[in-house]
Structure 1
Amino acid sequence: MATILLVEDNELNRDMLSRRLTRNGFEVLLAVDGQQGVDLATSRRPDLILMDMSLPVLDGWEATRRVKADPQTAAIPVIALTAHAMEQDRQAALAAGCDDFDTKPVELPRLMEKIRALLAPAG
């Protein structure tokens, strides 16, 4: 069972998405701010991170940069989640180190496709 770290400060979004991921067979770790997300990524080394970009304490861009800068967590795929759907927002997330980008409100089938693609073994 793959482990997904969901870094999301909005309780409703966090609850809804974590329940849907659990129903899809994932173990879900939860973080409510960017610093907690970085700390959990380091201590638990999840298979994938879903990173909200607008977070307290440490925003998603900086949290992603820190995860990607650490050799122990650099290979963990990160999908940015944001309500900001403009192309420059996508580019900023990718520039921070995110491997993919998805918009809120989350469309679960589309997000699941991206998660499965990033978790699929290479080759």
Structure 2
Amino acid sequence: MAHPAERRCGPEPGAPRFTGQKILIVDDDRRGAFALGSALSARGLTVLQAATGADGLAAVEHDPAIRAVLMDVAMPGLDGYATAARMRRLDQGAATPIIAVTFEATAADRARALDAGMDAHMPKPVDVPRLLRLLADLMN
């Protein structure tokens, strides 16, 4: 039998809504990105996904409607730190909030994410209500 909290299907009462706002998840783990994207789209967000840092950079460069980026830091090739630093140099990415979403959850990992130009650090597994509050703060 499922835990009572696991039976809830709808969004949390009083949680922020984001109807029509677009975010980008940059993560090489497609299953994890899909699960997180599904939870966020239930709150009204339009969720785009990129599996590589290069694809994330291209998405931000070509889509000015992206309001925030959720960035995995441990990706092969161009990791999330380097991707965020490059994103900050793009006209479209200079002011876009970037949140590190990662299993790397030490104080040093948080500091490294902030030093790379990210606005916040969110450990995995993601506390979705906390992420929604953070997105509401950063996107307004």
User: Under TM normalisation by the shorter chain, which class is it?
Assistant: over 0.9
Alignment of structure 1 residues 1-123 onto 2, 5 Å = 1-45=20-64, 46-120=66-140
Count of residue pairs brought into register by the alignment:
120
| CA distance in 2 between partners of 1:80 and 1:111 (Å) | 11
Runs of 4+ in 1 over 4 A off after TM superposition: none
- Identity rate, percent: 35
RMSD: 0.9
Say if 1:3 and 1:28, in contact at 8 Å, map to a contact too.
Answer: yes
TM-score normalized by the length of structure 2: 0.83
CA shift for structure 1 position 73: 1.7
Say if 1:35 and 1:57, in contact at 8 Å, map to a contact too.
Answer: no
**Structure 1 residue identity aligned to 2:67:** D
CA shift for structure 1 position 118: 0.4
Which structure dedicates a bigger proportion of its chain to helix?
1
TM-score normalized by the length of structure 1: 0.94
| CA distance in 2 between partners of 1:41 and 1:57 (Å) | 18
Gaps of 5+ in 2: 1-19
State which structure, 1 or 2, has the greater radius of gyration over its C-alpha atoms: 2
| CA distance in 2 between partners of 1:102 and 1:23 (Å) | 19
Say if 2:72 and 2:102, in contact at 8 Å, map to a contact too.
Answer: yes
Gaps of 5+ in 1: none
CA shift for structure 1 position 53: 0.3
Say if 2:60 and 2:92, in contact at 8 Å, map to a contact too.
Answer: no
| CA distance in 1 between partners of 2:90 and 2:34 (Å) | 28
Instruction: Render the CA deviation track for 1:60-82: whole Å, top value 9, x for unaligned.
Output: 00000011012332010100111
Say if 1:67 and 1:73, in contact at 8 Å, map to a contact too.
Answer: yes
Report the 3-state secondary structure (helix = DSSP H, G, I; strand = E; otherwise coil) of the residue aligned with 1:64.
helix
